[in-house]
Amino acid sequence: DGDRYLLGGVLLVVANAAQSVAMMLYNSYLPQIAPPEERDAVSSRGWAFGYAAGALVLIANLILYTAHDSFGLSESAAVRICLASAGLWWGAFALIPLRRLRDRRTPAREAAGTGWKQLAATIRDMRRHPLTLAFLLAYLVYNDGIQTVITQASVYGSEELGLGQSTLIVAVLLVQVLAVVGALALGRLARTYGAKRTILGSLVAWTATLAAGYFLPAGAPVWFFVLAAGIGLVLGGSQALSRSLFSQLVPPGKEAEYFSAYELSDRGMSWLGPLLFGLTYQLTGSYRDAIISLVAFFVLGFVLLARVPVRRAIGDAGNPVPERI
């Protein structure tokens, strides 16, 4: 508070940067702890557990925030406790990988080229695997659409549909809960149809969900909940299967390097969707037009992913090709 907002801004940047590094390392463990035929299921369960646990702490935070007077707290104090609980949550669960996961050491001479030099070396190496880069491009496009829907759905609900804060909070919880179901369900579908086909199917579902969202009536919370349910069902599975499919395209021994590029695609280009959303609103004055404009990311992502021969890409990366992919 007061003049300490600059400190808050710096801490926000540090926290987001640290989270990106943590997610990169977390993702890079997948090829080391799960054989190729189990990665879709393991990745799906990981996302499902994450959304389930996130829903629990979110519910606890919402109870504290909405009933802060009952706990003898001011609104500001309740917000501070909620924020601190997120940090404690991360810190507590970080003890599990620290104690249970083994670190595969890299010889010092190989680790000497760190930072930007290492990133440049990784990019040069990735040029030897153009099909892996082709998947990353497709992921960059459709994931940007996913991230924008997540961040702008509440804006659409409040500004265009005229929904209250309590409705939006319930919708967020609904997305969290159904993302668990969606991650597990799409993981099971991947066993039958393969990860690539299941992801392509999820992109069709994303497109249909946004199209339905365009026609939602204003002031109707029930239909907004239906939209939230649709988002939740495809959200977790899209993320989980994208991670597991990319893990098949990473050359052995380069997991952390390649997943850093994967995380860069996830975080580093996530401004394109909000830019399109904002520009469309500025030009048309309609949030409905802004939300439907995001369909472009899913259509283009579908086309780019459909053109990637994943079996050949897995073989070119030096990995065994699973029976169903």
State residue 109's pLDDT score. 46
**Is 321 a domain residue?**
no
- Angle, nearest 10°, between helix axes 255-263 and 5-28? 140
**Is 282 a domain residue?**
yes
CB-CB contact of 280 with 102 (8 Å): no
**Is 114 a domain residue?**
no
State residue 262's pLDDT score. 83
Integer Cα distance of 235 and 173 in angstroms: 13
152: CATH: 1.20.1250.20
Q: Which residues contact 225 (CB under 8 A, 6 or more apart)?
A: 170, 171, 174
Residues of the chain falling short of pLDDT 50: 108-109, 111-112
**Is 55 a domain residue?**
no
**Is 204 a domain residue?**
yes
**Is 250 a domain residue?**
yes
- Residue type present at position 100: R
**Is 112 a domain residue?**
no
Q: Which residues contact 121 (CB under 8 A, 6 or more apart)?
A: 113
State residue 227's pLDDT score. 92
pLDDT tens-digit readout, 243-283: 999 999 998 888 878 888 888 766 666 788 899 999 999 99
**Is 155 a domain residue?**
yes
Q: Which domain holds residue 303?
A: 5-48+129-316
State residue 24's pLDDT score. 86
Counted domains in the chain: 1
